[in-house]
Amino acid sequence: MLQHLAIAFVVFFGLVRSAAAQNQGSPAPRNTGRPAADFVETARYPLELVLPRAADSSPSSDDGSPTVSGEHRIFRAYPAIEYNIRAVVLGGSYPFRFHLTDAPPGMTIDARTGEIRWPNPTGSRIRPTITVTDAEGTERSSSWEIRVGTESFRFVDAVRGEDSNNGTREKPWKTLAAVKANPSQGGVVYFRAGTYDTAALQPTGDDEGGWKRAEFNGRVHPVQWIAYPGEKPVIDSGYRNDSERGWFIRLQGAGNNPVYLDGLEFVKARHIGLQFVSGVGDFAVFRRLAIHQIHESINGANSAGIMTLTNPQRPSWYSAFQDIDFHHNPCGGIKQYSQRKLPLPRFGDWPGPEGGCLALRGPPLRIPRQLGNEGRFVWQHASRPWPGHYR
């Protein structure tokens, strides 16, 4: 929207069509999705272990640095359903090595990526410790407590569910409308395979400029959504033609209820795949998402696969983007407003508006799947991305 005008700093990446056009016909270098095996870069900023970490602790002592809520998804596991998270790290010298101590039987960590898997959670409370070591030998460690239980978990199943159910694993809801109609602040929702239409939701906003949307507010609604292991739920915004304009999802976190999305697919939006409200929630995680078939890019309307809103009073800290697949979107990938210490893959240096820089290499975002995206891969507006490595 026009009220979001700001100086835009643009990062181009190889498979973005507009960047390729400026390359005067020479082929863009192929990106394999990860640096060379022998790649090492000197640390320019302090190593920070962002997640997982102890509840109510902060990754740094910087002024304004927030603490992570004990209601974050990382602290909860459902019995016998795989617990799967990925560590978030900033700064330091890439590459990193990860290991666990005091882990329960069956819990493992990928030493290179920091992915933590626990296929069969049991017991009631466990407290493992994660340690990350960078290429210069600097270490950061933290324990975190995982509560195993069914409380605060809900389930939605587009195939077998009923909205008259109570949302338990045995009696799941069917639609997004039921998720919104049953307030559960701080809850975690598992989505089973199937298609979830945003048309089932009452929209807000003006269709002028394409900002008609369905809102989920973490002060009232659950905004931590996870695909059931091994299944692919699809959220369909339903854009078909100019007379049937589907609306996108807007998620707003809260101090004790951060946004957490893992394993979902977002399709057929008009020009924004997903929107996130900055400044009212920290430690948001966007992981293993597929965002595609966005219909168009509207000039001046902040079109993007994922778009975060401006908050002049306060930015969001430590929003993490992991293993996201953007493809066939005229509007490109991510448009960010009002973010601080933003973990992104490193693929170059770019001076920011407040003395910081966007330093990206990686990527956890699946850049080779940038195919068919005509817009910029990353736009940054009045944000302070943390210049460091992220895996």
Residue 276 contacts residue 270 (beta carbons within 8 Å): no
Domain match, 305 and 360 both: yes
Domain match, 158 and 89 both: no
On the question of pLDDT at 356 being above 90, the answer is no
Residue 322 belongs to a domain: yes
Mean pLDDT for 199-212 is 74
Which of 270, 268, 254, 258 is closest to 225 using CA atoms? 258
Residue 329 contacts residue 292 (beta carbons within 8 Å): yes
Taking residue 369's Cβ as centre, other Cβ atoms within 10 Å add up to: 17
On the question of pLDDT at 116 being above 50, the answer is yes
On the question of pLDDT at 236 being above 60, the answer is yes
Confidence band, pLDDT 50/70/90 cuts, at residue 240: confident
**Of 121, 147, 173, which residue is a domain's last?**
147
Residue 386 belongs to a domain: no
CB within 8 Å of 307: residues ≥ 6 apart:
272, 274, 275, 276, 334, 335, 336, 337
CB within 8 Å of 313: residues ≥ 6 apart:
279
**Of 127, 147, 167, which residue is a domain's last?**
147
Which residue range is the domain that position 115 belongs to? Answer: 48-147
Q: Pseudo-torsion of CA 35, 41, 46, 47, nearest 10°?
A: 40
User: So what's the pLDDT on residue 188?
Assistant: 97
Mean pLDDT check: name the lowest of 65-69, 126-130, 218-222, 357-361. 357-361
Higher confidence at residue 107 or residue 242? 107
User: So what's the pLDDT on residue 353?
Assistant: 30
Residue 36 belongs to a domain: no
Domain match, 159 and 124 both: no
Higher confidence at residue 380 or residue 205? 205
**Of 147, 171, 193, which residue is a domain's last?**
147
On the question of pLDDT at 354 being above 60, the answer is no
Residue 283 belongs to a domain: yes
Mean pLDDT check: name the lowest of 116-130, 238-252, 324-338. 238-252
Residue 68 belongs to a domain: yes
How large a percentage of the chain has pLDDT more than 90? 51
Higher confidence at residue 197 or residue 3? 197
Mean pLDDT for 16-23 is 31
Domain match, 193 and 310 both: yes
Mean pLDDT check: name the lowest of 1-15, 22-36, 150-164. 1-15
Residue 387 belongs to a domain: no
User: So what's the pLDDT on residue 297?
Assistant: 82
Domain match, 128 and 263 both: no
On the question of pLDDT at 117 being above 50, the answer is yes
Q: Backbone dihedral region of 302: left (phi > 0), alpha (psi from -120 to 50 degrees) or beta? A: left
Residue 164 belongs to a domain: yes
CB within 8 Å of 39: residues ≥ 6 apart:
94, 95
On the question of pLDDT at 52 being above 60, the answer is yes
Residue 391 belongs to a domain: no
Mean pLDDT check: name the lowest of 52-66, 135-149, 198-212. 198-212
Mean pLDDT of the residues in the chain: 79
On the question of pLDDT at 150 being above 70, the answer is yes
User: So what's the pLDDT on residue 65?
Assistant: 94
Higher confidence at residue 332 or residue 3? 332
237-245 contacts, C-beta under 8 A, 24 or more apart: 237/198, 237/266, 237/267, 237/268, 237/269, 237/270, 237/273, 238/197, 238/198, 238/199, 238/268, 239/268, 239/269, 239/270, 239/295, 240/268, 245/207, 245/210, 245/212, 245/270
On the question of pLDDT at 195 being above 50, the answer is yes
Which of 81, 82, 83, 88 is closest to 53 using CA atoms? 88
The pTM of this model reads 0.83
**Count of structural domains within the chain:** 2
Domain match, 163 and 141 both: no
Domain match, 199 and 321 both: yes
Mean pLDDT for 21-34 is 38
